[in-house]
Amino acid sequence: MITSPGKPLHLSCIPRGEAYALKVNISKNEIGIIYRVTAVLYVHGWNIEEAIAETSTDGYIQDIFIVKRIDRSPMTDEHLNAIHADLHELFYGGMSVMNYLALHPEKMESLRAKVETAPEIFLFNSEISDSTVMDLRMEDRPGILFEISQILFLFGVDILSFKAVTDSGQVRDTFLLRLENGSKLDENLHFFRLKEALTAVL
């Protein structure tokens, strides 16, 4: 585990099959945690297959990411230290995500490479759940989760959990979402605008 003295940011990683379970613990319960973590993982060449956000009994926010390096290389202490250093800058160093990405222009270029086929986006509110479900299907490419989390952050929407299933170059992403105030997204107020914004960047 890697920790920040005086700053509650803890990072640990264990192998999970061909992937790794990366656990990020932070005491700041605020919107945009997954947004910042996905930015760092994207820059460092890690593909995120699943993410789950949890709040522990002591108030810590615990995000678990199932990650696999794009070039299939293993997670090393050097990788983990570099990820931790960048996360520390984003959470405690006053650096914004956009300024962070500006330091890596080659990554910004690949984000602008939209796929040819428009994504399919489905949003619905279930009566038996206190969150909104978003299902997204599109051609797979690096940076998708970061771009989605960026749009959701700008809309004031928090990601409770995320799961990706990739098959034959297609990805299906399923999200559980909630507004900052803890409520579901409003079907009339948010659904169309959110779909429009996501389609524009993806």
Same-domain status, 180 and 120: yes
Identify whether residues 24 and 49 lie together within a single domain: yes
Domain boundary among 48, 75, 109: 109
Cite the beta strand spans of the chain per DSSP E: 2-4, 7-16, 19-26, 46-55, 61-69, 120-125, 132-139, 157-167, 170-179
Tell me what pLDDT residue 114 has.
65
Per-residue pLDDT of the chain (202 residues; tens, 9 = 90+): 665 565 678 899 999 988 999 998 887 666 788 889 999 999 999 988 888 876 555 556 678 889 999 888 999 999 999 999 999 999 889 899 999 999 988 887 777 666 677 889 999 998 888 899 999 998 887 788 889 999 999 999 988 888 887 777 788 889 999 998 889 999 999 999 999 999 988 8
Which residues constitute the domain of residue 137?
Answer: 111-201
Residue type, 171: V
Look at residues 49, 76, 109 and tell me which one is the last residue of a structural domain: 109
Same domain, residue pair 93 and 128: no
| Residue 147 shares a structural domain with residue 176 | yes
Q: Based on the domain organization, do 193 and 115 belong to the same domain?
A: yes
The answer on 122 and 70 residing in a single domain is no
* 105 and 116 in a common domain: no
Quick one: 133 and 147 in the same domain? yes
Query: In terms of domains, do 134 and 187 share one?
Result: yes
Question: Which candidate, 75, 25, 13, places its Cα nearest to that of 45?
Answer: 75
Closest by CA to 111, choosing from 75, 138, 69, 148, is 148
Question: Rounded to whole angstroms, how far apart are CA atoms 31 and 42?
Answer: 19
Looking at the 3D structure of the chain, how many domains does it have?
2
CB contact at 8 A, 172 and 66: no
Domain boundary among 93, 109, 125: 109
Residue 181 is predicted with a pLDDT of 87
Same domain, 184 and 115: yes
CATH number of the domain residue 126 falls in: 3.30.70.260
8 and 105 fall within a common domain: yes
> Do 23 and 65 belong together in one domain?
yes
